[in-house]
Amino acid sequence: MLSQALSPIARTVRAGIDAQLDLFADTPDLPVEAAAPAVMDLAHLEGGNFAGHTPGQPAVPLYIAFSGGKTSAMMTEIILRDYSHRFNPVFITFANTGQEHAKTIEFVFECQQRWERLYGTTVVWLEAVVNHAGRGRGYGTSYKIVDYYSATMHWNWNGPFTEVITKYGLPSPASPNVCNRELKLAPQYAYRRNIEKMLGLKNVYTAIGIRDDEPQRHQSAAEQRKGKFCYPMVDLFQSDKQDVADFWEDMDFALGIPEELGNCVTCWKKSVPKLGSVANTNPNYFTFFDIHEQVNGRTNVPDDAPARTFFRNHLSAEDIVNITVMDADYKDIKAQAAARRLAAKAGDNDFSGCTSECQPFANAVDLVAELEDADVVLPSDMLPYYQPTLAQFAQAAH
């Protein structure tokens, strides 16, 4: 059962809802060696092009990198609902950075409950575990498995976000890959390697939720083959932004985050006007980042370079707050005018903001090449978390 590896407090909380959540209660525990059938692969997916599938072909495994957003959740739901004859088992992972909006965490858990109830498939929650012992091969970021109750929450100083910054420095325009690479891609990549070792898998692709109407985010077929990822919402069931909106209108729950906040509320990829809007809503969102700029502004920065800050145009968290909340004029004019005034001050005329989900495998080819490659082994005390996956895989293979 999933609850076997929870903390005592989480076990107590979860015990009351086991009947609804734990669909694997009647599944006998499987030894690892008994759950390793013949190798299966996704070779027919020719770099994300699903046209190569032949009717009647056996189902193959698939990873889903669930971002916690609406698009990614829609993709996962459709794959589980309509394509189980082609993809089985499906391994769903969510990489929690510790900076997600609280409603994102709630949404991921609601999705998990639904997918466990309807499709017998769970979501494995991962958090980055940073290796501070050195740099280079064997010292890369690994992972630990958490859940809804034990996941690091927003503003927690001792979470994975702080650990990554302490070793690699501030994620910012000057170091754009740190956050996505170490907090999202690395833990999921390490988990994937462990699954492949245990089950004897190879060439298993990762599905990512990039839509058909986002061609600027599509990578070539060659890059997809190299990175072993695919775009179901492009090649399997074409979907655009309106399709996503229509899908969630028909659901009985949704991701209730205002667009100006988004999942990672103070992400540096957001335009300065959007960050100003966030600061005007609640300046406390920037306190965590202000402290990190003071403590880790020089981490991994050359001696002859200035200290780093989080945001565009070398703006600090204090700058964002000062030119919004502390400026009386800002509060006296309409929101759009205020945003344009802020942009003029900051020299940033980009009003697009960060409107797309941050997909961990979106530029996987480049980021995997940068990984320090953790020397990962499967901790025995985490084995109960894998039992449902192993049982599902064994069932699909026979």
In tens, the pLDDT along 306-321 reads: 899 999 888 899 888 8
What is the rounded average pLDDT of the residues 267-296?
88
Q: Is the model's pLDDT at 269 over the cut of 90?
A: no
Let me know whether 314 and 189 are in one domain: no
Same domain, 190 and 285: no
| Whether pLDDT at 6 is above 50 | no
Provide the residue range defining the domain that includes 365: 2-257+357-397
Whether 204 contacts 42, CB under 8 Å = yes
pLDDT tens string 61-118: 999 999 999 999 999 999 999 999 899 899 999 999 998 888 999 999 999 999 999 9
Does residue 108 lie in a domain region? yes
Same domain, residue pair 238 and 168 = yes
Q: So what's the pLDDT on residue 390?
A: 45
Residue 381 lies in a domain: yes
Q: Do residues 271 and 250 lie in contact, with contact meaning Cβ atoms separated by under 8 Å?
A: no
Q: Check whether residue 180 and residue 236 sit in a common domain.
A: yes
Predicted local confidence at residue 344, as pLDDT: 53
Alpha carbon 201 to chain centroid distance? 23
**Residues 108 and 169 placed together within one structural domain of the fold:** yes
* Residue 289 scores a pLDDT above 50: yes
Q: Identify the pLDDT of residue 346.
A: 55
Domain assignment present for residue 263? The answer is no
- Of the three residues 326, 346, 366, the one that is the final residue of a domain is 346
Bridge partners, 125 (sequence order) = 94, 146
Supply the CATH number for residue 115's domain.
3.40.50
> What single DSSP character describes residue 220?
P
Same domain? For 110 and 234 the reply is: yes
Buried b (16+ CB within 10 A) or exposed e, 203-225: bbbbbbbbbbbbeeebbeeebbb
Do both 219 and 289 map to the same domain? no
Tell me, yes or no, whether 140 lies in a domain: yes
Q: Exposed, middle or buried: residue 82 (CB in 10 Å: 0-12, 13-18, 19+)?
A: exposed
In a domain, 351, yes or no: no
Query: Tens of pLDDT along 124-144?
Result: 999 999 999 888 888 889 999
pLDDT of 181 above 80: yes
Residues 230 and 321 in one domain: no
- Mean pLDDT (the chain) is 74
Task: Give the DSSP H or E segment for 65.
Answer: strand 60-65
**Same domain assignment for residues 47 and 151:** yes
Q: Are residues 171 and 295 in the same domain?
A: no
One domain for residues 52 and 101: yes
Within a domain: 316:
yes
* Number of domains observed in the structure of the chain: 2
Q: Which pLDDT value is given to residue 359?
A: 58
User: Are 51 and 166 contained in the same domain?
Assistant: yes
How do 142-146 and 123-129 pair as beta strands? Answer: antiparallel
Boundary of a domain, candidates 346, 368, 385: 346
